[in-house]
Amino acid sequence: MSLAYTVREAFSSFTRTKLASAGSALTICVALLLLGTYYIISLNAAHVISMIRERVEVEAFCEEPLNHTKMLNLQQQLLAVEGVERVQFVSKDDAAKIFKREFGEDIGNVLDFNPLPPSFKIDVRDEYKSADRLDTVVAHIKSLRDVDDVVYRRDLVEFLDRRMGIAHAAGLGLGLLLGVSAIFLVSNTIRLAIYAKRKIIRTMKLVGATRWFIRMPFLLEGLMQGVIGGALAAGLIYWLIEFVSRRVLADLTEFMRVDNLFYAVIVGCGAFLGLFGSFISIRRFIGETVVN
């Protein structure tokens, strides 16, 4: 197979169907631009949500009286609970200091005694910071002797779980819709190119040209459309990131940076969409009956 012929025919077909080829490349560009932007937003949203999850802690209030021996024993039991990473004991005096720091009032001036119970602040491993898994950890902690009550921000954790689920579902649906649209348009453009060259294809078959010799220029044309669309999308995303970065606080720019590999992946996805769309078309239309 002549590489020069394949490239020449691909460029020739590309220039003859400028409008259709431009439409396919633009569709791929828009699809990847939206998907790339969504990826950056979701990636950084996940980073922010991860930071919020890190602040979610469980607090176990202890039954009184709690002597030093009971405290050490309960501490060891808490550390043995699956999912617990570390614990910190908060005495009654420590609780009073925290109350004064947060509310600006000394509880000793309000009451004649300290009603705040001793407690343990419990850090849970990241993989356990979902509502269902936290419920399991909390249930285990509540079952321990000398534990009076366990509290944590379940409403916040449920909210994070729910929003992340919706975001992932929306992203997946958007990606499938745009990807299928891009593949369809590339396939349709290649089909038009095949139809325009049907007589030439018939002649090539009659003189013994192999199927892949006929197919390769159309595959290369689809690949070109995909690479152009992917390159345009990568360039636009890079420009958008630079544009926004210059207009926000320096502390926020770290949430908009992506690795250079991301841009290569965008171009690669464009090449795949173009190649796959053209492959569908030639598989269907370059057969024994395509030029009849």
CATH code, domain with 121: 3.30.70.3040
* Residues 77 and 29 both lie in one domain: no
Contact 268, 260 (CB under 8 A): no
For residue 292, being part of any structural domain is answered with: no
pLDDT at residue 284 above 90?
no
* Residues 281 and 169 both lie in one domain: yes
Domain limit, last residue, from 152, 187, 202: 152
Cα–Cα distance, 26 to 150 (Å, whole number): 56
* Residues 181 and 87 both lie in one domain: no
* Residues 123 and 182 both lie in one domain: no
Instruction: Identify the band that residue 231 occupies on the pLDDT scale cut at 50, 70 and 90.
Output: very high
Number of domain units in the chain: 2
For residue 246, being part of any structural domain is answered with: yes
Instruction: For residue 83, give its domain range.
Output: 57-152
Q: Which amino acid is at 215?
A: R
- In the three-class reduction of DSSP (H, G, I as helix; E, B as strand; rest coil), residue 86 is classed as strand
Between 205 and 27, whose confidence is greater? 27
CA-to-CA dists, residue 210 to 13, 148, 164, angstroms: 19, 80, 51
Average per-residue pLDDT for the chain:
78
* Residues 36 and 166 both lie in one domain: yes
* Residues 214 and 72 both lie in one domain: no
Of 28-37, 111-120, 185-194, 267-276, the poorest mean pLDDT is in 185-194
For residue 174, being part of any structural domain is answered with: yes
For residue 291, being part of any structural domain is answered with: no
* Residues 178 and 37 both lie in one domain: yes
Share of residues in the chain with pLDDT > 90 (%)? 10
* Residues 169 and 28 both lie in one domain: yes
Cα–Cα distance, 288 to 94 (Å, whole number): 85
* Residues 267 and 168 both lie in one domain: yes
pTM of the model: 0.60
pLDDT tens readout for residues 88-98: 999 888 888 88
Burial 123-156 (b: 16+ CB within 10 A, else e): ebeeebbbeebbeebbebbeebeebeebebeeee
Based on its alpha-carbon atoms, the radius of gyration of the chain, rounded to whole angstroms, reads: 31
Domain limit, last residue, from 122, 152, 182: 152
Domain limit, last residue, from 112, 132, 152: 152
**Residue 211 burial (CB count, 10 A):** 13
For residue 276, being part of any structural domain is answered with: yes
* Residues 164 and 276 both lie in one domain: yes
* Residues 164 and 256 both lie in one domain: yes
Cα–Cα distance, 120 to 199 (Å, whole number): 82
The DSSP line for 170-212 is: HHHHHHHHHHHHHHHHHHHHHHHHHHHTHHHHHHHHHTT--HH
pLDDT tens readout for residues 242-275: 887 776 655 555 666 677 888 999 999 888 888 8
* Residues 76 and 205 both lie in one domain: no
